[in-house]
Amino acid sequence: MLSIYPESDVPKAQGKTIWWDVRDPSPAEVAEVKKAAGIEVPSRKALSEIETSSRLKARDGVLSMSVPMVTHAGGYGPQIAPIGFILSREHLITVRFAVLPAFDAVAARFTGSEERPGSSLEVFVDLCDELIDRLADGLEEVATELRDLSTTAFHVPEGQGRKAVRSNKLIRARLRQLGRLGDYLSEKRDALLGLGRAIDFACELTSDWAGGKLKPRMAGLKQDVASLDNYEVHLSDKVQFLLDAMVGLIGIAQNDIFKILTIVSIVGIPPTLIAGIYGMNFKFMPEYDWLYGYPYGLALIVLSAIVPLVWFKWRGWF
């Protein structure tokens, strides 16, 4: 899909075009953009390269930048969808492979009542600003979920906490949630690093573009990226802390189970011993001929089970 901004009723009037937005381009659309702007449109494979030299290039006044991005559209799990920026003084070409609300928001400025971007660099800055805003929103959502998990793990009444820990289904759900949040933070970190490098690269090479009017905004974007990167590190540390805490709570729950099994097995030893003694088929056992021998044996078995329980309770083992 190819979108041109500002839109024109005359498709051939390419001199007025500031921004070509290419999403999942077909060969015909790639050829059209190349013919109109004289710039090669990178493929998805090229945009997915991880080397800095492949992600950030400058040739003949044209800057080529790629930013790693992961989307979760359609509910099919994370999908890699890198973004490519080809920036010159006259034009901006963006190449993407997913629907991104940030691009729709900037595109709406060309048709809405807001002030239109007046240059390719301004469109690039607006796109980066919108992307950063949405990355910040994503980090805030993660922080909220982590806060809820922390509250459930550490700030519930003791009785509820014991039930929650011993519920295998609930524990598995929380561990999956923590793992999902960890993956999500990793994706946001990659996007922040890539976007920060692209902004630094563009800021260095476009300082004299548009009369230098956009330098303060680009400096502000760099500060935003740095602050979000620090916040992401804080959230990652919290994910690791909660993961360690969850594993520790699982260990405590398992220890409780093994302790109960140990107590039961120890308590059962004396009655078994006594029952074994009186179950031996000896000729001369005085209790066999005693009128109260059977109640005596039962009482002795019960008492031998109660005494260890009282001892364990006094020692605070349960």
For the residues 99-111, what does the mean pLDDT come to? 83
Q: Which of 81-95, 138-152, 159-173, 294-308 has the lowest mean pLDDT?
A: 159-173
Share of the chain above pLDDT 70, in %: 83
Grade residue 121 by pLDDT with cuts at 50, 70 and 90: confident
Asked if 96 and 107 touch (Cβ cutoff 8 Å), the reply is: no
pTM (whole model) above 0.75: no
Q: Which of 55, 60, 59, 81 is nearest to 70 (CA)?
A: 81
| CB neighbour class for 113 (10 Å; exposed up to 12, middle 13-18, buried from 19) | exposed
- If you compute the radius of gyration of the chain from its CA atoms, what whole number of angstroms results? 34
Over range 28-42, report the average pLDDT: 76
Q: What is the model's pLDDT at position 317?
A: 67
Q: Where are the domains of the chain?
A: 2-258, 268-314
Q: Are 60 and 40 spatial neighbours (Cβ–Cβ below 8 Å)?
A: no
Structure tokens at 43: 């493929």
C-alpha angle 116/119/125, rounded to 5°?
A: 85
Give pLDDT, residue 117. 77
Tokens matching residue 74: 């359609």
Q: H/E element holding 167?
A: none
If residue 151 lies in a helix (H) or strand (E), which one and from where to where? helix 120-154
DSSP letter for each residue of 5-30: ES--S-TT-GGG--EEEEES--HHHH
The residue ranking higher by pLDDT, 157 or 194, is 194
